[in-house]
Structure 1
Amino acid sequence: MLELAWPWFLLLLPAPIIMYFLPSAKPKGEGIWWGNSAQLAQYQDNKVMSGRLSWSYVCLFMAWVLLILAISRPVWFGEPTKVTPSGRDLLIALDLSGSMQVTDMTLNDQTANRLDAAKSVLSDFIQERRGDRIGIIVFGTKAYLQAPLSFDTKTINQLVQETQIGFAGEQTAIGDAIGLGIKRLEDRPSDQKVLILMTDGANTAGRVQPLQAAAFAATQNVRVHTIGIGADSMIVQGFFGPKAVNPSSDLDETLLRNIAAQTGGEYFRAKSTDELRAIYQTLDALEPTPSEDIWQRPLTSLFHWLGLGSLAFLALALLASNALSFNRKGLTDLTKRGQS
């Protein structure tokens, strides 16, 4: 559908026609006098070329019409499209320390390490968060921003799948990861700032203590949900045969509970891939995305195209006028040569 922002400018369209029919300033009964036969011949040639002159007038009129239409600012409204409104800014802090390579999880009925299980569950979780801006923080000995907050969940998911154990070091800097998350969320509305921190160990590195970072997160209205990942029992082959061990003995559950409690979040314990998947389903319910879609119609301004069209017709009018002047000069030279 086409609409005009300033339709009253269309009143100027007939201005050239009105000016054409206005009374002439010179009397119509003016006599015609030719000083010699050369002037008479030139007058007749001008009558022959009047057709070319009329094309110049047509181009000028078209340039005027397109200019007035451009000034009226026509806008084309496209078909309505569905747009999911902006939801939360959600950062996911993923532990890449050396302990994440422990194979105490299952994936597709096969043994898998903790990171592979986490990436599989995160992939489904990210794809379901339509309308949210999602970012990824990876941490080990240090914390790094793997992917800034973005609506492009496809790219975010790809970056998650590209993470590898040891990218950020072998130790675990939980406090630095929380601090980096606070920094990336500081300019966002207070009711939209969420950090999900997933780890399998205790804080063993970093410059910031986790509880200090959690206290500061609470002042900045950043809600931190913590997830402790790792089985509590697995069979390993020892010197005297198979034996049961606790692969999550280094997990500091007390710390993770305190971090969540200080910031208004929840603590979850994932002992298997299915439990981890259920946790992210719970988080999806705790931090819902907008349920109502917004319909909008794209707008396309035609001002530039009409303006370019007006300039093109003006150029054609100038070319026609210059060609007419050149032909006149050539005819005058031929007449003088004929007289001589």
Structure 2
Amino acid sequence: MPAWFSALASAFDLASPLALLLLPLPLLAARLMPAETAGGSGALRVPASVVAQARAGAGIAARGRTRLVLIAILWTALVVALAGPRLVLSATALPASGRDIMIAMDLSGSMERRDFDLDGQTVSRLEAVKRVGADFIRRRAGDRIGLVIFANDSYVAASPSFDTATVAHALEEATIGLVGRSTGIGDGLGLALKRLAPQGPEGEAEGPRTAKVAILLSDGTNNAGQTTPRDVAELARDLGVKVYTIALGPRDLANAEGEQDVVDAETLRDMATISGGRAFRVKTTDDLIGVANAIDALEGGRAQAPPLPLRRDLWPWPAALAFLCAAGLLATRRAA
């Protein structure tokens, strides 16, 4: 078999190939139907003009052959359309790691502080996090990722999804003041854990089927919410969720010297240790970029998933041909 023919054949397939068995059905019907008995008493009154044309014979014979061809094409096109021809297209394989990742981001008032550099300009902490975080999310194609924002209250800004572009856009649209201006670290991580531990049909948490990771970013101290950070970290450990914490800001409680609204790096470090994760300290934009790359490497192991073939239906084309043949049959019938 020529190589070009094999390549052409592999580019097409049929949704219902058994439908092609219907192709010889008209021939079988014509052969098996009983013939008309001789000596029938049927009578038909035919106009004289038609009788004259019948004697000539050529016009009616030509139309009969045309109708026969149209009927053959009509039946063939209908059967081919019923078989469902499809064009097989190759799909690009996406990286897949099988991880569920929830990002819990502090959206308190202190994120407005302009003490980070970005593209040679001084920007707020939130602007730096948006730029680096959105880039990190888009790189995680193949993961199921979501976003929680927290301050006084906690809110799911993007439900876990494989659509990383939508989650990244949700991060870029985050606005300070949407959920208050205080810092509820425990509640923020708690809501992220809830989305990482879906409930079964009877209310019991399902066992972890994939690697589950929470990334908690904060630049303050827990001063809002109903839960304590340590209790939520222990819950993460029990659920098998690894928590990476990012303490953001140039100063923390250890060296603040009475300064308010500084990050509690020690608490964040304890949360990561309890859950089996890792704590990071970020003071500059370069640190933030380095942390994003480090987490990306720690949660790597992505491989190309097997490409799934994409199929485009072609049945409307033979169906349209069958419709045209039916119109042609109707036209020749009227002409007769």
What's the TM-score, normalizing by structure 1? 0.76
| 1:294-319 deviation line (CA, Å, top 9, x unaligned) | 33332234345444544553454345
The question of 1:63 aligning with 2:74 is answered yes
Moved more, 263-272 or 57-66: 57-66
- Within a 5 Å distance, the mapping from 1:189-204 to structure 2 comes to 189-204=208-223
Determine the structure 2 residue equivalent to 1:336.
none
- Residue 281 of structure 1 is aligned with which of 293, 296, 314? 293
- Residue 230 of structure 2 is aligned with which of 198, 211, 218? 211
Check whether the contact 1:101–1:114 (CA below 8 A) recurs between aligned residues.
yes
Determine the structure 1 residue equivalent to 2:169.
158
Give the AA of the match of 1:43.
Answer: V
- How far apart are 1:212 and its partner, in Å? 2.8
- How far apart are 1:15 and its partner, in Å? 3.7
The question of 1:3 aligning with 2:35 is answered no
The question of 1:272 aligning with 2:284 is answered yes
- Residue 229 of structure 1 is aligned with which of 248, 254, 271? 248
Q: What is the SS of the residue equivalent to 2:246? A: strand
Q: What is the SS of the residue equivalent to 2:175? A: coil
Counterparts of 2:216 and 2:178, CA distance in 1:
17
- Within a 5 Å distance, the mapping from 1:301-316 to structure 2 comes to 301-303=313-315, 305-307=317-319, 309-314=321-326, 316=328
| 1:222-251 deviation line (CA, Å, top 9, x unaligned) | 222111111128xxxxxxxxxx96767742
Q: What is the SS of the residue equivalent to 1:63? A: helix
Counterparts of 2:43 and 2:286, CA distance in 1:
106
Determine the structure 2 residue equivalent to 1:241.
none
Counterparts of 1:4 and 1:96, CA distance in 2:
53
Counterparts of 2:158 and 2:319, CA distance in 1:
42
Determine the structure 1 residue equivalent to 2:272.
260
Determine the structure 1 residue equivalent to 2:102.
91
Counterparts of 2:21 and 2:12, CA distance in 1:
18
* Matched positions, count: 312
Runs (5+) with no aligned partner, structure 1: 234-243, 328-340
| 1:154-211 deviation line (CA, Å, top 9, x unaligned) | 3333332222322221101112211221222223944332111100111111123323
| 1:69-90 deviation line (CA, Å, top 9, x unaligned) | 2343433222353333364222
Measured on the aligned residues, the alpha-carbon RMSD in Å equals 3.5
Structure of larger gyration radius: 1
Check whether the contact 1:81–1:297 (CA below 8 A) recurs between aligned residues.
no
Q: 1:34 to 1:219 in 2, by over 3 A?
A: closer
Q: What is the SS of the residue equivalent to 2:174? A: coil
Q: What is the SS of the residue equivalent to 2:304? A: coil
Counterparts of 2:121 and 2:258, CA distance in 1:
20
Give the AA of the match of 1:292.
Answer: Q
- How far apart are 1:93 and its partner, in Å? 1.4
Q: What is the SS of the residue equivalent to 1:64? A: helix
Check whether the contact 2:145–2:160 (CA below 8 A) recurs between aligned residues.
yes
Q: What is the SS of the residue equivalent to 1:131? A: coil
Q: 1:45 to 1:184 in 2, by over 3 A?
A: farther
Q: What is the SS of the residue equivalent to 2:90? A: coil
Q: 1:24 to 1:104 in 2, by over 3 A?
A: closer
Give the AA of the match of 2:193.
Answer: I
Percent sequence identity over matched residues?
35
